[in-house]
Amino acid sequence: MSELQFEKQAGVAILTLHRPQVINVLTTAMLRALDQALDEIADAADIRAILLRGAGTRGFCAGADVKWLRQCVADGRAEEGDEFFAIEYALDRRLHRFPKPIVALMEGVTMGGGLGLAIGARYRIATPTTRLAMPEVHIGFFPDVGASWFLNQLPGAWGRYLALTGESVDGATARALGLATHYLTSERAAALPQRLLEQGDPAFLDELETPVESPVERRAWVDRHFGQPSLDEILASLAAADDDWSRRALESLRAASPFSLGIAWALLCAGRPASLETAFAQEQEAARRALRHPDYAEGVRARLVDKDFQPQWVAANAGS
């Protein structure tokens, strides 16, 4: 069965990422199929909107097939990994500027490259099951797919917090931060596809939204610690604090690859790209370097292959 299901009904194109057994992780073939589908949709006068979703119940998309990318490097085929990232980033850029409205249904796990696909949609739907994250620093990589730009658009120091810790946020928080444009109950999210087929114009989503509260207390904590001018000062600020949030964040930073934290800081904080295009250009060069760094193979091994969660990074852990 195809890794991408493409249906056209009542003026709506329905694109379903279809690798449910692995939470729809992205492959080169899937990305090419998405790009080809967009070619057809762009030229079809009868298609007014697009629904982008994931198959299965576990999530929209867990990101790139990082185990395959690791194997490419091990087999001396790193250029296939470079090709994957080039295709992925080009597709993500295209989604950001696609002329027809895209509705991305971010149910369940929406992480890494999955968030990269969804973030370019005009309508980004979060639900009670949504878990959004850019967890790459824990596998020896870095938040990419435009994250050095779109995370910088978040309030205060939230972008730094998400990039450096790899922590996830729920659907309500994603909506409050602007990562999602709408928050729907599970019941209303289930009814969304049929409603879109009936009405064609996704503007009705405003009527379905459930209001969410802004995480004011958490925002103050994030800004206090992650608004520090350097990574060392963030670590020191967290170490001096005496609360559960700070302890968990410090633990996450210490577990991350120091190489990855350095890239994330350079791209997101020190370099702070002026545009999405600049972000993708910088990230593509960084991806080429990170893919070949020993921490990537080791991080994927520890988290996803052997699952011992004991990576042996090249450099000493941050703040250790």
Report whether 267 contacts 273 (CB < 8 A).
Answer: yes
Alpha carbons 165 and 143: distance in angstroms, whole number? 11
How is residue 167 annotated by DSSP? -
Report whether 125 contacts 106 (CB < 8 A).
Answer: yes
pLDDT attached to residue 261: 97
List 90's β-bridge partners, or say none.
Answer: none
Report whether 44 contacts 263 (CB < 8 A).
Answer: no
Give the Cβ contact number of residue 21 at 10 Å: 10
Report whether 296 contacts 304 (CB < 8 A).
Answer: no
- Burial of 263-275, coded b for 16+ CB within 10 Å and e otherwise, reads bbbebbbeeebee
pLDDT attached to residue 193: 96
pLDDT attached to residue 192: 96
**CA-closest candidate to residue 127, choices 212, 201, 206:** 212
pLDDT attached to residue 317: 62
DSSP 178-203: TSSSEE--HHHHHHHHHHHHHH--GG
Alpha carbons 229 and 126: distance in angstroms, whole number? 32
pLDDT attached to residue 50: 98
pLDDT attached to residue 72: 98
Token pair of 12 as six digits? 């709506």
Token pair of 41 as six digits? 């949709």
Q: Which domains does the chain have, with CATH numbers?
A: 4-305 (3.90.226.10)
What is the pairing mode between strands 169-170 and 131-133?
antiparallel
Report whether 292 contacts 78 (CB < 8 A).
Answer: yes
Token pair of 189 as six digits? 């999210």
Query: Residue 245 is which amino acid?
Result: W
Token pair of 70 as six digits? 């690791």
pLDDT 10s digit of each residue in the chain, 320 long? Answer: 699 999 999 999 999 999 999 999 999 999 999 999 999 999 999 999 999 999 999 999 999 999 999 999 999 999 999 999 999 999 999 999 999 999 999 999 999 999 999 999 999 999 999 999 999 999 999 999 999 999 999 999 999 999 999 999 999 999 999 999 999 999 999 999 999 999 999 999 999 999 988 776 799 999 999 999 999 999 999 999 999 999 999 999 999 999 999 999 999 887 677 899 999 999 999 999 999 999 999 999 999 999 999 999 998 665 55
